[in-house]
Amino acid sequence: MKRQAARPVIEPSSKLLDIVRTLFAELHRQAGREGRISLDSSLDRDLGFDSLARVELLSRIHRAFGIDLPEDILNRAETPRDLLDALLRAAQGTERWEFLSEAPTLESAEGEAADASTLLEVLDWHVRRQPERIQIIARSDSGVSAVSGRSLAQASEEMAAGLQSRGLEPGQTVAIMLPTCPEYFSVYLGILLAGGIPVPIYPPARLAQVEEHVRRHVGILSNAGTVLLVTVPEGRAVSRLLQAHVPSLRWVVSTEELRRPDAIFSRVPVTAEDVAFIQYTSGSTGDPKGVALTHANLLANVRAMGKAIGVRPDDVFVSWLPLYHDMGLIGAWLGTLYFGIPLVVMSPLAFLARPVRWLQAISAYRGTLSAAPNFAYELCVKKIEDEELAGLDLSSWRLAFNGAEAVLPETLTRFRRRFAPIGFRTEALMPVYGLAENSVGLAFPPPGRGPIVDCVQREYFSRTGRALPAAAEEASPLCFISCGRPLPGHELRVVDASGHELPEREEGRVEFRGPSATQGYFNNPQATSQLFHDGWLDSGDRGYIAGGEIFLTGRAKDMIIRGGRNIYPHEVEEVVGEIPGVRKGCVVVFGSPDPASGTERLVVLAETRESDEEKRQRLREGINAVVVEVLGEPADELVLVPPGTVLKTSSGKLRRAATRALFEAGLTDEHKRAGWLQVIRLAAGALIPQLQRWAAGAGEGAFAAWAWSAFYLVMPFVWLATVLTPHPSRAWAVGRSGARLLIRLTGTPFSVSGLEHLPRGSPCVLVANHASYIDGIVLLAALPEHFVFVAKRELSGQFFARLYLQHLGAEVVERFTARESVQDAGRLEEVLRAGHGLVFFPEGTFTRVTGLQPFRLGAFLVAANTGIPVVPVAISGARSVLRDGQWWPRRGAIKVMIGAPLMPAADARNAFAAAVVLRDAARAHILRHCGEPDIQQ
């Protein structure tokens, strides 16, 4: 009796542990350790199961038990016991994946909203004509939801009312951190109805990734100035961490909290030029780039894509693409909303857990359109079992878009062969090209044609950039796939490094323009300025045009230039990823500068679970062998790293630049921290920056108070001693002692170099950049001998300044009246001829803006007329200590760099020409050493 009672628990648990242990042994290739695995072992920390390993684990569980686990178990499960609990619930019938039961009837579209100027007008147009037509069929763990146009509009107004009741104002940004669910659509439209700007971000995958998730999104939300975040109740913990790090983020709410029956909705006027979406691209967290897209941009892109593919009234789009990504939000949903065709949508986790679900939905709903990145087509080939295909029919699938990452010809071939027996046609394969900066789509091939692969001569292309077709007998050609022609109304071109357009079959940088193109990055003018070139936008991609169609060769920033040869990372990454022991999809190839050789090192960084050193050495040899086979030369450096080291975007694309930065910082061997430790670090991190800000503010205040105290302790005595001193040279010595004492009292790091360049026993014209109120004090402290300051006449109107400058022997000059300026110049020449050196600030004045301003010619004319050398002096750091308009001194190091004397040209035809030469040479020296940019107009 007891054995029978325990049977339902013991058998599944033993069977499940056998699956987990087998997978662990295969991944780590180490016998013996799997015996220590228990139901409470951590999938992340103890077993090292990342996302791909979890997908494989769920696939094996399904084959062994014949049970569909809930899709979020991929992320939710922390231990095998969590999987066991889910299995037991599913076996009792409480959790089953029933996507296809009682499928609603899908009606053909009645047309497109051709006159609509905003997305909200599109929704209104369809609600007026066919309010009960099903627009969305959404599958989640709670079941299948059918959303009509009318119900979508009503739910969106409820969300808008909830947002307005929270205080959302027009133009403010709202982050959406939701999984794929029916509420996602109404939240997005609700934000638009309330006059806000949606900012989709992805939810955290697992606790073990929470630290990277928070740190990555803090930069995004701060850049967007996000005031409100909408999430699920389970996401509140992460949301609170985000809120602690983002000062503008005032509210974190769930979709249920936004639904307030008593809230009143007031519709906000929205125009075509209002921003309807900010898509943050996969960039650096320190410089987030949010592509701002208007209603006009999105509608132009949707209309152009629809025209390119010939949208039909009976089309049905099936998608598992994440809604926080442009391909899922714009390409799948907004496109179907505009054309009035149904969207069948499921969670990305549902697809990853069992890829066959994607094909099941296409078969059941007679899907005609669907899209996915290349890896998804590859996953279907490798993870779907033959028996799972029974009863499926893919003959309705007329266009299978492949985009968002590099399209591999081999994947297309494998997918076509694998699924041709159940009706899939080669002509349906449609590689496409798009990017967030152009909404989503940019180039499509003709529908129904099928893919075109162009194989070119590898060595010639790598060295010259010319894509000459390879001969049939060439052993290892480079193969690229066509992404078609630009969408209607859009343009593409390929340019060289100088911006000149290249002819066909010559590789260069891809640029584009058209009505779908963004006007720039949100709150990032510097990145925006780098995006545009003479009215064209820089795609960041490289490629060539052949037959009027675009063939992409790689990302510009990822291309490696080694010994004059162009190397394309994805090609090496693909073959290395096929080696047993290397984690496929977790290989990064990049170039790292090598100062010794003057070119780039070729670095191959590959994840492996192998820990035995002898086996790791064999793995290195195998990797080097395939690299030599592909490139004809070995890698300069080969790095084997543990799982989870290679950084990826939310959509699974490799973050090569970020991984390279990790490698160059020497952090690729750092072990992952446990999830709970990450949460503690983040929570502490939310407090530590605030404490640091308080401490820094207190420290700055204390320093400023002490600096002014020191000034008023020292300078009155210096002023009085100077006024009472009859000789300017002695007054200079007093001033120099006081200046150096002030610098020591304030603890200011101060250094002077180049004193040997000052002429001994003869005068010179010393010219220095002018950045701060304290420049005079700095030169007093730096120069060992008496110089005559040349000061602007305005200072003579100030009592204390006038007396001090007079006794210091300073000369005042007129800056604005030509006649008096000429007289002043003559007087200064006499000072030089009398053997006294002069100090000029040739900028004439200073401002708070960092940068070296244009130089006036006065000082250089005086030098040219007298034949006296000019000595350039660069002052760095003074502006940050006390800049114009600021009376709050800050700590900072000050350096003075004295340059070699510049002699006036003896053969110059006139003094003016000689002065110009002196000015340019002196300014060039100061610009090199002052640490500030050139702002000369």
Residue 761, token pair as written in the block: 């026993």
Place of tokens 């290249």: 502
What CATH number matches the domain at 701-929, 3.30.870.10, 3.40.1130.10, 3.20.20.80, 3.30.2320.80? 3.40.1130.10
Neighbours of 213 (CB within 10 A): 23
Residues 407, 361, 386: CA angle, nearest 5 degrees = 75
Query: What residues contact residue 617 under an 8 Å CB cut-off, 6+ apart?
Result: none
In this model, does residue 123 exceed pLDDT 70?
Answer: yes
d(CA 671, CA 611): 14
Please state whether beta strands 369-372 and 399-402 pair in parallel, antiparallel, or not at all (unpaired): parallel
Give the H/E segment covering residue 683.
helix 675-724
Query: What residues contact residue 296 under an 8 Å CB cut-off, 6+ apart?
Result: 117, 272, 273, 515
d(CA 872, CA 768): 6
Going by pLDDT thresholds of 50, 70 and 90, the confidence category of residue 3 is very low
CATH of region 2-91: 1.10.1200.10
Helices 728-745/775-782 angle, 10° precision: 110
The model's pLDDT over 638-697, given as tens digits with 9 standing for 90+, comes to 888 888 788 776 556 677 777 776 776 665 554 444 554 555 554 555 555 556 556 756
Give the H/E segment covering residue 380.
helix 374-383
Residue 738, token pair as written in the block: 């006081």
Query: What residues contact residue 823 under an 8 Å CB cut-off, 6+ apart?
Result: none
Q: Where in the chain is the domain with CATH 3.40.1130.10?
A: 701-929
d(CA 185, CA 323): 9
Q: Mean pLDDT for the chain?
A: 82
Place of tokens 């670090």: 681
d(CA 803, CA 106): 92
CA–CA distances in Å: residue 551 to residues 406, 432, 465, 492, 509? 11, 10, 13, 12, 12
**Please, are residues 882 and 773 in contact by the beta-carbon 8 Å criterion?**
yes
The whole-number average pLDDT for the span 195-209 is: 74
Residue 796, token pair as written in the block: 């003579």
Torsion over CA: 518, 523, 529, 531 (sign): negative
Domain 560-672 CATH assignment equals 3.30.300.30: yes
d(CA 423, CA 414): 15
In this model, does residue 447 exceed pLDDT 70?
Answer: yes
d(CA 664, CA 290): 27
DSSP annotation of 209 reads G
d(CA 203, CA 222): 17
The model's pLDDT over 865-891, given as tens digits with 9 standing for 90+, comes to 888 999 999 999 998 888 776 677 888
pLDDT for 633 equals: 67
Please state whether beta strands 532-533 and 536-546 pair in parallel, antiparallel, or not at all (unpaired): antiparallel
DSSP string, 269-338: P--TTSEEEEEE-S--TTS--EEEEEHHHHHHHHHHHHHHHT--TT--EEE---TTSHIIIIIIIIHHHH
The model's pLDDT over 351-365, given as tens digits with 9 standing for 90+, comes to 888 899 999 999 989
**Please, are residues 728 and 756 in contact by the beta-carbon 8 Å criterion?**
no
Residue type at position 816 = F
Residue 753, token pair as written in the block: 């170099």
Q: Where in the chain is the domain with CATH 3.30.300.30?
A: 560-672
The whole-number average pLDDT for the span 97-104 is: 49
Identify the weakest region by mean pLDDT among 144-153, 416-425, 557-566.
Answer: 557-566
DSSP string, 161-221: HHHHHTT--TT-EEEEE--SSHHHHHHHHHHHHTT-EEEE-PPP--GGGHHHHHHHHHHHH
Q: Where in the chain is the domain with CATH 1.10.1200.10?
A: 2-91
CA–CA distances in Å: residue 740 to residues 59, 750, 769, 784? 75, 9, 20, 11
- Helix, strand, or coil (residue 795): helix
- Phi/psi for 454 (5° steps) reads -110, 115
Q: Which of 376, 388, 378 has its CA nearest to residue 352?
A: 376
Instruction: Give the pTM.
Output: 0.62
DSSP annotation of 899 reads P
The model's pLDDT over 769-819, given as tens digits with 9 standing for 90+, comes to 998 889 999 999 999 988 999 887 766 667 777 888 888 888 887 654 444
Share above pLDDT 70 across residues of the chain, in percent, rounded to a whole number: 82
pLDDT for 222 equals: 87
Residue 355, token pair as written in the block: 């890829």
Q: What is the rounded (10 degree) CA torsion for 568, 572, 577, 579?
A: 180
Helices and strands in the chain: count of H runs, count of E runs: 30, 34
pLDDT for 252 equals: 86
**Please, are residues 720 and 731 in contact by the beta-carbon 8 Å criterion?**
no
